[in-house]
Amino acid sequence: METEKAKKTRRKETEKSGTARRTIRRSKGRKTTAEKETTTKEVIRVKDVGELVEYCKTLLGRKPFEGAAVDFHQKKPAYVYLPADNSVTKVDTQKLLDFLKEKGVQRVLIDALNKKRLPTLVRLSEAGFEVFVLRRTYAIEQLRQVLRRQNVEVPKSDKFDPVLLAFTPPKKWALVDGKFLKAWKAMTEWRYADTTFRIEQQRYDANSEMSKEDEDEELRRIYEMIRAKLEEVQRLLEEVQKLEAQLFVLKVQKQYNVTEKDFQKLGIETDDIVAKAYACEAILEAIHCDTLVGFINKAGIRLAKNGKKPFIHDGRLSYVLHQLAIKVYHLDVNNQQGKIRYKKLQLAKKILKLFRGIRGSGRVGEAFGAGPPEEGGLFLLSPRPSGRGLRKQE
């Protein structure tokens, strides 16, 4: 017995010593914080446009946009990067068309759509320029971060932003035409009217709750007067909302020839003009989505039941499909949230099918380089796009 105890004791001692030796070996291989700091590469700070172009070509491995990359500003002139001259020029927005014609440019890339820029973009499109828009405005900042990880620091400057814009991946560009720009302008006006109506609706609901809670008779009387005035405002805004919706639908129908039969295919009632406006919004948002997954991602519809990781999406498109699902399928907002999510997905599929029919029949026009109109109805499907480069949900 004593011999077995001695063996167990020696075995435990060797195990302890072996563990200690292994721990020492691991610690020898590790670098201290001071050593890591000394081995860190020196960060290079970009000083001029030519230097930034060389770093983008070398580290990103792609060529710049073949044309003019334009970075607009609200209260300042636009900054234009021309890869042919390898220069950035400050140009007044009103003189941009003449400047591009003088330089012999045929293609233009801008960072984002804006209502104030639309007249300039429409003029460019009507003058024969190919106008591209960056799909995601944060792509420029992502590019700056990619270079930062390569130890190249690009300062935030007006002269560097158009250069970074020119080196964004081509899959993040969207070709737009005059038809889409005019319809997009009408959509912004409709959205403003719809948002105004929603804000006044929320004020009316909040005032109704306050008047119920307050016990003072004089205060309650004033609240009732405010409530009566808000009811009048709400009725007027509801009429304005319907008129703006009607105006928006007519402008979209003028550009893309969406018919009453197409709205019926989506299940929209004939007299529900607001639902038709929501459908037109969704159709315009679907124009630059190549696949169903891309459109679902853009609408913020989560496919995984237990998914919790947030992803970037269009909040307005998500709201539009939400309201459209409630109107078309007559759902209860408070008790049928799960069903609303499922119906949003169904509507997204129908709307993308509708859009492919518009593209297949040649009604989208220059936005996809479509040829002359083909024979067949609006729901004639074109070949399925490849969807290369689109991100799937996790």
pLDDT per residue over 250-267, tens digit each? Answer: 999 998 888 898 999 999
Please identify, among 176, 199, 234, the residue that sits at the C-terminal boundary of a domain. 176
Residue ranges in the chain assigned as alpha helix (H): 2-29, 33-39, 49-55, 96-103, 118-126, 139-149, 161-166, 178-213, 217-256, 260-265, 273-286, 292-299, 315-329, 337-360
Residues 250 and 279 in one domain: no
Tell me what pLDDT residue 11 has.
60
pLDDT category at 214 given cuts 50, 70, 90 is: low
Predicted local distance difference test score (pLDDT) of residue 35:
47
pLDDT at 341: 84
Q: Verify that 268 and 392 share a domain, yes or no.
A: yes
Question: Residue 98 carries which side chain, given as an amino acid letter?
Answer: D
Instruction: State the pLDDT at residue 2.
Output: 53
Kindly state the average pLDDT of the residues 157-181: 92
Say if residue 49's pLDDT is above 50. yes
Could you read off the pLDDT of 20-39 as tens digits, one per residue? Answer: 444 444 444 555 544 444 44
pLDDT at 19: 47
* Contact indicator for 345, 220 with CB cutoff of 8 Å: no
* Number of structural domains in the chain: 3
Residue 89 near residue 83 (C-beta atoms within 8 A): no
On whether both 218 and 288 belong to a single domain, the answer is: no
- Which of 294, 268, 239 has its CA nearest to residue 347? 268
- Report percent pLDDT > 90 for the chain: 43
Residue-wise pLDDT for 294-306, tens only, equals 888 888 887 666 6
Asked if the structure places residue 162 within a domain, the reply is: yes
- Same domain for 193 and 213? yes
88, 128: one domain:
yes
* Domain C-terminal end among 117, 150, 176: 176
- Do 227 and 320 share a domain, yes or no? no
Domain for residue 34, yes or no? no
Same domain membership, residue 244 and residue 314: no
Segment holding 109, helix H or strand E: strand 107-110
256, 272, 304 — which closes off a domain?
Answer: 256
pLDDT at residue 80 is higher than 70: yes
Q: How far apart are alpha carbons 248 and 45 in whole angstroms?
A: 48
| Rounded average pLDDT over 224-240 | 85
Judge whether residue 358 has pLDDT over 90: no
Percent of the chain clearing pLDDT 70 (strictly above): 76
pLDDT score of 97 more than 60: yes
Report the C-alpha gap between 186 and 181 in whole angstroms.
9
Task: Answer with the residue of higher pLDDT: 317 or 17.
Answer: 317
Q: 372: pLDDT confidence band, cut at 50, 70 and 90?
A: very low
**Residues 275, 281, 287, 291, CA torsion sign:** negative
Evaluate if residue 201 carries a pLDDT over 50: yes
Q: Which of 45-59, 62-76, 109-123, 331-345 has the lowest mean pLDDT?
A: 331-345
Assess whether 205 and 307 both reside in one domain.
no
Q: What is the pLDDT of residue 211?
A: 55
Query: Are 136 and 251 found together in one domain?
Result: no
- Overall average pLDDT of the 58-79 stretch: 92
Least reliable range by pLDDT among 3-17, 196-210, 296-310? 3-17
CA 62 to chain centre: 24
Whether residue 315 is predicted with pLDDT greater than 60 in this model: the reply is yes
- pLDDT value, residue 385: 33
Tell me which residue range forms the domain holding 335.
259-394
235 pLDDT exceeds 80? yes
Answer whether 87's CB lies under 8 Å from 52's CB. no
pLDDT for 355 equals: 78
Residue-wise pLDDT for 150-165, tens only, equals 999 999 889 999 999 9
Cβ pair 262, 282 in contact under 8 A: no
Residues 237 and 269 in one domain: no
Q: Is the pLDDT of residue 131 over 90?
A: yes
Look at residue 38 and tell me if it is in a domain. no
For residue 115, how far is the Cα from the chain centroid? 16
Whether residues 148 and 274 share a domain: the answer is no
In a domain, 18, yes or no: no
